[in-house]
Homo-oligomer: A and B are copies of this chain.
Amino acid sequence: MQQLPTVEDVARVAGVSRQTVSNALNSPHIVKPETMTRVKAAIAELGYRPHASARRLRTRKSSTIGVRLDPMTNGISGSLLDRFLHALTEQAAERDLRIMLFTAQGPEGEIEEFRRLRDGADVDAFVLTSTMHEDPRTAWLRDHEFPFVTFGRPSAADDLGDPIHPWVDVDGFSGAEQATRHAIDGGARRVGYIGFDDDTTTARERRAGWAAESAARLGLGSAELDTLARAVVDGVPQGIAAASALLDLPNAPDALVCASDSLALGALMAAATLGRPGIPVVGYDNTPVAAAIGFSSVDQPLDLVAASALELLFGDSGSSIVARKHSAADPLYRLLTPTLVARTSTQLTHMEEPGSPVAGNHNER
């Protein structure tokens, strides 16, 4: 490996002392402008870079953000966090920050990684995803006063007026409300809902948005709304099952709003199988699949989520952690509004008699 220029080399070329170079690097404000110019010229000439590890040791600053990579999901919405990771990595690069990925088994394993990365000064802050109710990870980070921000609200109980930690979230109530409004504006009078069966803010907010819009525009009561809603695990097969159950109701829905594109794809397949291929279905997360197949879906502004998370940690333009206190003027959270991407619907039709890929019925046409 080629020999790298050292502080001594810079001092020699600039004709100043090693200490002056060190001051220029670490305390520029105490260095005379003309001296600063000479040092900068020498640094440029030599292509000198302060050794990152030495700098980290000196400043305990790594210019790195720790992110736990969630286990791969097979749902077609599983890529949402991957898309967020892309957005975060690109936004971080603009601040000269990098992303350190790690994996962990469960919250306790993740906390152990927090400890190791903190002890090693490997990261300056963490960005957490997939937050949960009474999250032990955020509790640990708060207790140890380590900077972090979450993509997702701390919990339904969190008081927006005084958040317990910085967070960025996308308003699921608004997203489901927009999806439901889109269906109603198109003529639907009984909008069914297929959501998540877990006890998360995401699950609650999205259902509430659908319910509020249905109640306001269609005058449906909570009992009737309950018959039109299903709560399931995210996935295409679950979407097929839930949509089939709803469409088999005596007073079946004439449109379906789903909490994910996986559920929406399942709903489209179920509608086709039940001879209702034209029933409008609205998905969530606006995955490439929604674009490819052509159904409407709610889009989360992931670039803005990433930018907001970094802004909460580092301020408007910096790459150094800024200690912030919540205030009405400068809140410690960002609640972003999603947008509905409306598309012309596509029908999916299952073969009546599944066969091998070449047993298709095109010969019968």
Contact = CB atoms under 8 A, between A and B. Distances in A.
A60 B264 CA distance: 50
A141 to B, nearest CB: 11
Contact of A183 (B56, B89, B281, B357): B357
A295 B116 CA distance: 44
Given A72-B83, A78-B288, A53 B279 contact: no
A357 B296 contact: yes
A324 interface: no
A282 interface: yes
A118 B3 CA distance: 12
A74 B288 contact: yes
A145 B1 contact: yes
A101 B103 contact: no
A351 B346 contact: yes
Interface stretch (A119-127, A161-169, A195-203): A119-127
B102 A100 contact: no
Contact of A100 (B82, B99, B345, B363): B99
Interface stretch (A14-22, A221-229, A270-278, A327-335): A270-278
Nearest to A348: B348
Interface in A257-286: 262, 265-266, 269, 271-272, 275-282
A183 B358 contact: yes
Contacts of A122: 52-53, 98
Nearest to A78: B288
Interface in A92-141: 93, 98-103, 116, 118-122
A357 to B, nearest CB: 4
A85 B70 CA distance: 11
A51 B120 contact: yes
Contacts of A350: 346-347
A145 B3 CA distance: 12
A241 B74 CA distance: 29
Contact of A144 (B1, B83, B100, B280): B1
Contact residue range for chain A?
35 or more
A292 B357 contact: no
Given A52-B121, A288-B76, A342 B357 contact: yes
A356 to B, nearest CB: 5
Contact of A349 (B71, B119, B145, B277): B277
A187 B356 CA distance: 10
Contact of A344 (B78, B262, B355): B355
A64 interface: yes
A362 interface: yes
Interface string A166-188: 00000000000000001100111
A279 B362 contact: yes
A75 interface: yes
Contacts of A182: 357
A86 interface: yes
Interface string A52-73: 1111110000101000010110
Question: Sorted from nearest, which 8 A-B pairs have the closest CB atoms?
Answer: A278-B360, A52-B120, A186-B358, A280-B357, A278-B362, A53-B56, A99-B101, A344-B354
26 contacts: A49-B116, A49-B119, A49-B120, A51-B57, A51-B120, A53-B120, A55-B120, A57-B57, A72-B83, A82-B85, A98-B100, A98-B102, A99-B101, A100-B100, A182-B357, A187-B359, A262-B292, A269-B346, A277-B361, A278-B363, A279-B362, A280-B356, A280-B360, A343-B357, A345-B351, A347-B350
